[in-house]
Amino acid sequence: MIAWYRKTKYPGKRAGIIMVTLAWLFSTIACSQGYVSTFDLTATALFSGGGAGSGEVLPSLEAPVDAAPTVTVEPAVMATTLAAQDMPPTLLIETPEPTSPLTTPLPPILYYTQAGDTLPAVAIRFGVNQEEITSNEVFDVTGFIPAGKLLIIPNRLETTGPPDAVMPDSEIVYSPSALGFDIEAFVQEAGGYLAGYREYLGDGWNSGARVIQKVAIENSINPRILLALVEFQAGWVYGQPANLAVTDYPLGFINKDKKGLYKQLSWAVQQFSIGYYGWREGLFTSLTFNNDTQMRLAPTLNAGTAAVEFLFSRLYHPDVWNGVIFGDKSFGALYERMYGNPWLRAQIVEPLLPVNLTQPELQLPFLPARVWSFTGGPHAAWGPDGAWAALDFAPAAAESGCVKSDDWVAAVGTGLVVRSGNGVVVVDLDGDGYEQTGWAILYLHIRSDGRIPLGAWVEQGSLIGHPSCEGGVATGTHVHIVRKYNGEWVAAGGPLPFILDGWTAKAGAKPYEGSLNKEGEVVEACTCGSFETRILRPKDGN
């Protein structure tokens, strides 16, 4: 049995568990005292109606209904018939031998939901249908499930990896737990190779600490996890590289196109993102190690643990991987020696996605009475992989490609500019000056001339700058906009969809596909910028 039991804080939860367990035990004893039909053995509590996205709520647990037919035998008639035929005292019909022994089903898994859980993702992780998951609590299942809710789930997975959590979610993303963490001071005090390291990037020479900060802020990945990874793999933080390979490829990913600290870290954060957001959204359930063997992950893991386990599966064989994840010499053990207990910090800042989280009212990212094209449905926020949190819009143009545009990108919401440079503008919507807390909006591909400066206060509809191809890979002039909350990228077509002027984003089957939907009207995304992709902001903003 694979189950994750957490100590309940309230008597009501404990009573619920006891009642479920007693009910299962009673049914097991009853089954051992009489005939059990195949139906009885396979019957599973179902939803009373609807499914994911139907707006239905999880039903209360109900006793299973025995659908096996009842056969009534008339013994007197049978005896008379046999006597009249004067048959010898032998059995007329032998009872057939059962082809397979009847087995009692495994007890269900009692799973407490975690922040960011959705019914579809939980069902995928546990290998069951959504309709097979039941609860004695009532709540809406169309979005995020509140953390701490008890779900009763059939136990279908035979073999999985360890169920132990090794890293909180807040230590993976650039969350409030990293506020006040001085990367430069930490690196210099450690005094290792990283303290004197320098690397030339597109914006000039960068110190080792600056490279860490750059990768962290661009990808919204916690700088602590990056520093610990560099120390665990290369010993750069407190010591010196042991050989030339560790100097060129400090994280151990040997690829001539990934040479140097910045590219090594950029590769690593993509693995973290695939693991973290892929687990959140139910996009993967198993690890594939670098020797092509696979292991099903324990379904009760949190996203932070899945991210760490996914990254190291790309670097190690299973036998080595186990020691990397668990034990006195594991990555987690090093992490705690460097920064203290991460779970204590997590208690202060988690859950990162609160139960009552809603998106503030936002508008389309261009001026009223202007026609733009919806060129990109939900796709990766930063880099090629990770959360599909971004949407793309392009101004009307006489020619395609990276051409100069006089159109303006307008602020989707009110807030403080906390980052401006290299094609990027980030607006902190709660105005506290930190993009790691609350809602923040990232605008990418903003042209340098006319770009709003750092520290400026913007009202909804204020001018952010001109769309361009600056700041990242782009094939045509456009703006790429992304939401994040408490440092976590928020999926544009997920349980909390991107809504702009009443247009709700819906993800497609592939990145950049999808649509915007409003009152029965649908605009399909296409990088072609065709007539069908056009979208208008009326002068009144409706």
Q: What is the pLDDT of residues 449-460, one digit of tens each?
A: 999 999 999 999
CA–CA separation, 460 and 541 (whole Å): 11
Contacts of 513 (CB under 8 A, 6+ apart): 377, 507, 525
Residue 363 placed within a domain: no
The least confident of 75-89, 254-268, 335-349 is 75-89
- Domain boundary at 99, 122, 153, which? 153
What the block records as the tokens of 79 is 């005896």
CA–CA separation, 368 and 542 (whole Å): 10
- Domain boundary at 120, 153, 186, which? 153
Residue 365 placed within a domain: no
- Is the per-residue pLDDT at 356 higher than 90? no
Q: How far is CA 402 from CA 154, 406, 469, 475, in A?
A: 53, 13, 6, 6
**What is the number of structural domains in the chain?**
3
Residue 203 placed within a domain: yes
Q: Are residues 339 and 205 in the same domain?
A: yes
Residue type, 410: A
Q: Are residues 188 and 295 in the same domain?
A: yes
Residue 160 placed within a domain: no
Residue 358 placed within a domain: no
pLDDT of residue 139: 77
Q: What are the residues facing 446 on neighbouring strands? A: 467
| Residue-number span of the structural domain to which 314 is assigned | 169-349
Query: 278-289: per-residue pLDDT in tens?
Result: 999 999 999 999
Identify the residue with better confidence: 199 or 7: 199
Counting residues of the chain whose pLDDT is more than 70, the rounded percentage is: 80
Q: With cut-offs at 50, 70 and 90, classify the pLDDT of residue 540.
A: low
Residue 272 placed within a domain: yes
Residue 308 placed within a domain: yes
CA–CA separation, 369 and 398 (whole Å): 18
Q: Are residues 125 and 184 in the same domain?
A: no
What the block records as the tokens of 21 is 């367990």
Average pLDDT, the chain: 85
Q: Are residues 344 and 468 in the same domain?
A: no
Alpha helices for 300-456 (secondary structure H): 303-313, 318-325, 331-339, 342-349
Which uninterrupted H or E stretch holds 207?
Answer: strand 204-207
Q: Are residues 194 and 332 in the same domain?
A: yes
CA–CA separation, 36 and 18 (whole Å): 25
What the block records as the tokens of 58 is 């999880």
CATH number at residue 530: 2.70.70.10
- Domain boundary at 153, 178, 200, which? 153
